[in-house]
Structure 1
């Protein structure tokens, strides 16, 4: 089996030491192949050795300036450093080279979420969901972006799909509660959602606050 594939298998199993060994051998056997350098960098990123990882990614790009995987990994590196503008630039380069993937669109969207540029995050998160409808976290983030854009009915629809796919998603239930309360003024549905969030995660402070608010509203209505 190819050393890079073996390394990826070891990494997926959590055996970082063996993964490094395989990627090192891959680089030694094919020093002009960018793939080995990218894989080694990914291992280093996973263990937090970002500065060292950057050297491997620079080498990969020197070898192949069209190495989309190198730019994607570079984007992850900057994202981990919370340098979201730089990360977005790298992800955009990866996207320009191709192929387009839901992960790539998702990471671009999350860069703009962290930069406070919701209008830019929305299309990337939407495209991520279009490319992989099974990605629950992408759908959740897309729903939040819709809510921030005040597209509440679609946000509710997406959040309902999230809890349908993952019935233990406390944050999705919390945000559904907020949407029902703020947009539809439906206190009964909001209370149900806050209770579901707390059932899943008893220490969910925001859901607890939401529940208290709704109970106060119901108490006032009853007076």
Structure 2
């Protein structure tokens, strides 16, 4: 898509402002966020407006779609988050974060089949990613696909033996298979 200089400048302005406004609100690393406050929520809503302005200029900009999805995910508005992640997935076919996040949101919505589809897609995009393997194995365990889950988590632990999260998942899978514990739900797994 060819943008005029003015369109490119408007796009860049809106995208940069949106990114700046969402700093510290959208969590992209492996830690649990604290509750979002009133002022952070206002700032995040302004970020969404700027991303939407950027998308009005360049509708196929998957990072803008992804970040709007992340903001809605942070708000707990999972239907809206999934909608934006799915739009981004239609455009971008290589980034594994998109289907990974779609999988997490689908689990929040109790759409287990969709969650498995997306966690599998994330794994197809990054086949040796031990974290994605753990996520997919957990989804499979929740869905009752114990043997496949066990096979995948064993590969993940072999790839990264010191990862405590995957070790925990492996222990859960083995405990469910041996009937020591009942099958976890998604809420149990977070």
TM-score normalised by structure 2 residue count: 0.73
**SS of the residue 1:31 aligns to:** helix
Which consecutive unaligned segments of at least 5 residues does structure 1 have?
1-26, 188-205, 207-223
Question: Which 4+ residue blocks in structure 1 deviate beyond 3 angstroms?
Answer: 27-30
- Number of the residue aligned with 2:57: 63
Give the 3 Å change call, closer, same or farther, for CA 39–130 of structure 1 in structure 2.
Answer: farther
State the Cα distance separating 1:155 from its structure 2 match: 0.6
Contact residue 118 and residue 145 of structure 1 kept, 8 A: yes
Contact residue 38 and residue 73 of structure 1 kept, 8 A: no
Structure ranking higher on relative contact order (CA contacts 8 Å, 6+ apart): 2
Q: Which has the higher helix share?
A: 1
**SS of the residue 1:133 aligns to:** coil
State the Cα distance separating 1:72 from its structure 2 match: 1.4
Q: Would you say 1:166 and 2:160 are equivalent positions?
A: yes
Across the aligned residues of Structure 1 and Structure 2, the Cα RMSD in angstroms comes to 2.7
Q: Would you say 1:102 and 2:80 are equivalent positions?
A: no
Give the 3 Å change call, closer, same or farther, for CA 35–125 of structure 1 in structure 2.
Answer: farther
Quick check: which has more Rg, 1 or 2? 1
Partner Cα separation in structure 2 for residue 29 and residue 123 of structure 1:
37
Give the 3 Å change call, closer, same or farther, for CA 79–161 of structure 1 in structure 2.
Answer: same
Between the two proteins, the alignment pairs up a number of residues equal to 161
Partner Cα separation in structure 2 for residue 29 and residue 122 of structure 1:
39
